[in-house]
């Protein structure tokens, strides 16, 4: 599936549960990072699109996690928009295996897991509690 086909399907909530993998989340964030005029625009699209797709898939609304969406989207944005950022999705996947390593989740570099487990983090953006986050969100 091309990037255009993928994002078209995502925005119309036409991705199947089997297709809505962790890698698909990363790809969606990468596409928005590459195409949106700025970080806030990219995050707005993610924050609207994920709950819409989840609803179409029958996923309970309380399972959407706003801090994970925003923080992960920000990290992908930083990696996707820098001067040496890979220009294609396959190249991005190859250069950034840290986004796909489930044994060491990348968000744990910036967040204590107990912070991410809070209701406040699930329902709204909570700032990172560890140093090194690539962009400060307000």
Q: How far is CA 64 from CA 32, 74, 90, 97, in A?
A: 18, 17, 27, 24
State yes or no: pLDDT of 136 exceeds 60.
no
Q: Give me the mean pLDDT over the 64-81 stretch.
A: 95
State yes or no: pLDDT of 138 exceeds 50.
no
Check residue 134 and give its pLDDT.
83
Check residue 92 and give its pLDDT.
97
Percent residues over pLDDT 90 in the chain: 90
SS3 for the chain is: CCHHHHHHHHHCCCCCCCCCCHHHHHHHHHHHHHHCCCHHHHHHHHHHHHHHHHHHHCCCHHHCCHHHHHHHHHHHHHHHHCCCCCCCHHHHHHHCHHHCCCCCCHHHHCCCHHHHCCHHHHHCCCCCCCCCCCCCCC
State yes or no: pLDDT of 38 exceeds 50.
yes
pLDDT tier for residue 102 given thresholds of 50, 70 and 90 = confident
Q: Give me the mean pLDDT over the 36-42 stretch.
A: 95
pLDDT tier for residue 132 given thresholds of 50, 70 and 90 = confident
Q: Give me the mean pLDDT over the 109-133 stretch.
A: 94
Check residue 68 and give its pLDDT.
96
pLDDT tier for residue 116 given thresholds of 50, 70 and 90 = very high
């Amino acid at each position: 599936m091309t990037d255009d086909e993928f994002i078209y399907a995502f925005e119309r909530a036409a991705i199947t549960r089997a297709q809505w993998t962790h890698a698909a989340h990363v790809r969606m964030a990468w596409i928005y990072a590459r195409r949106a005029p700025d970080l806030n625009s990219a995050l707005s699209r993610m924050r609207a699109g994920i709950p819409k797709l989840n609803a179409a898939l029958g996923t309970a609304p309380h399972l959407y996690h706003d801090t994970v969406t925003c923080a992960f989207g920000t990290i992908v944005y930083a990696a996707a928009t820098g001067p040496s950022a890979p220009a294609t999705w396959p190249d991005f996947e190859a250069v950034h295996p840290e986004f796909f390593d489930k044994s060491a989740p990348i968000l744990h570099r910036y967040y204590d897991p107990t912070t991410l487990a809070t209701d406040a983090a699930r329902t709204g953006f909570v700032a990172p509690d560890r140093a090194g986050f690539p962009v400060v969100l307000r």
